[in-house]
Amino acid sequence: GEPASDEYGHGTHVAGIITGNGSAAGGVTSLYNGGIAPNAQLVSVRVLGDDGVGNTSDVIAGIDWVIANKSKYHIRIINLSLGHAVTEPVAYDPLCAAVQRAYNAGVTVVVAAGNAGKTSDGTPVLGGIASPGNSPYAITVGATNTFGTTNRSDDQVTTYSSRGPTKWDNNAKPDLAAPGNKIISLEAAGSYIPAQYPSAHVAGSGTNGYLEMSGTSMSAPMITGAAALLLQAPPSLSFAQ
């Protein structure tokens, strides 16, 4: 295959939250000190294009590739910081079916809830969970704002974080919420996001740059990293647990 480049920059940021190494940031910024599970191994399965957009069929193919190669690469968790609007019940949604196949194969699937929690004028929206975050077989993650503190007492769900219930099925989602607002992580050198949004670049340069992004895409890898740590502690834990 081709080298694992990230022309868009979203995947690199997500990967840095899961398992980034903080040592390179030492002389550059104090805002990033590594991912949640710094010793976890990462398998990059690229399913979106250079513009961050792609086909649902490619995402499904990526999930099925993971299922097929699960034993070869010891894959235990899939992070899906992506989604599309729900247009049908879970039972008829091919992307939700792929998530269920992964679950049945013993892979934990963590999915971003989506960023459809409000309209452009700020009106709260209910029922905006994205597919496949509406799948009961996914751990669906909303975004919180920590307001820059480690204390949880001031944490709030962000206004943009998609809220339940799920469309069509009326299931309670998201399952969890995790920090997603103004998260500093790794910047892919020369990628689209820092080029288009220079203010998102916060420190460093070249292959040691750091980027600030917000969204449930940042929250999901927080939970993916936490799940990796859980599975490492007592490896006998089942994926259902």
| One-character DSSP codes across 149-215 | -S-GGG-EE-TTS--SSPTTT-----SEEEE-SSEEEEE-TT-HHHHH-GGGEEEEETTEEEEEE-S
Q: pLDDT tier at 3 (50, 70, 90 boundaries)?
A: low
What distance lies between CA 163 and its chain's CA centroid?
Answer: 16
> pTM to 2 decimals?
0.96
- Taking only Cα atoms into account, the Rg of the chain, rounded to an integer number of angstroms, comes to 17
Q: What is the pLDDT of residues 7-30, one digit of tens each?
A: 999 999 999 999 999 999 998 999
What does DSSP assign to residue 130?
P
Residue 113 above 80 pLDDT? yes
Q: Mean pLDDT, to the nearest integer, of 177-188? A: 97
Q: Mean pLDDT, to the nearest integer, of 167-184? A: 97
| Helix 94-104 / helix 56-73 crossing angle, nearest 10 deg | 10
Please give the Cα distance from 179 to 187 (Å, whole number): 19
Give me the numbers of helices (H) and strands (E) for the chain, helices first please. Answer: 5, 8
Residue 34 above 80 pLDDT? yes
